Amino acid sequence: MPATHRHARHLPAFILLALAEGPMHGHAIRAALHERIADFKGDPGAIYRTLQALEAAGEVSARWDTGGRGPARKVYTLTRTGWNRLGFWEEDIRRRLGFLQSFLDRLAQVRSQKAGRSRS
C-alpha cells in the first residue's frame, strides 16, 4: 500500500483523538497528526474530507473563528457522538492489535521450530 494511504482507514479515529484534546482548526489538526503519529503521510485534502464526513455524521461540530488575524478559520469540536465513536475505534483497534499479535506470535514459533530443525 502506498505510504500516502497507510493511515487512511484510521484517519477518522486519529482526527477524533486529536479533537479529544480540545477544539482545533484543520491546519492545527494536520500538524497534531504529523507530530503525534510516526510517519504520518495524510494529505490535507483527505483530512478536510474526513472532517466534513465527521461533521455530517454529528461526530464533530464546527464554528467559524473570525476573531484572529487573517482569514476566518473553521474550528472543530468533538461532540458526544464523537466521544462514543472514539470508543468504537478503541475496540476496533484493540481487536486488530490482538489479531496482528497472534500473527507475530505464530511467526516467532515457526521461525523457532525452523531454527531448531536446521541445527539438528
How far is residue 21 from each of residues 4, 15, 83, 87, 102, measured CA to CA in Å?
A: 25, 10, 11, 15, 32
Which residues contact residue 60 at a Cβ distance below 8 angstroms, ignoring those fewer than 6 apart? 15, 16, 19, 51, 54, 76, 77, 78, 79, 82
| Res 120: pLDDT | 63
**Cβ proximity of 89 and 83 under 8 Å:** no
Report the mean per-residue pLDDT for the chain.
90
Cα distances (angstroms) measured from residue 71 to each of 44, 62, 67, 68, 101: 18, 16, 9, 8, 47
What gap in Å lies between CA 30 and CA 46, rounded to an integer?
A: 10
Q: How many domains, in total, are found in the chain?
A: 1
pLDDT of residue 3: 40
CATH of the domain at 59: 1.10.10.10
Domain interval for residue 78? 3-119
* pTM of this structure: 0.82
* pLDDT tens for each residue of 55-65: 999 999 999 99
Task: Quick: pLDDT tens for 71-119.
Answer: 999 999 999 999 999 999 999 999 999 999 999 999 999 999 988 887 7
pLDDT digits (tens, 9 = 90+) for 16-64: 999 999 999 999 999 999 999 888 887 889 999 999 999 999 999 999 9
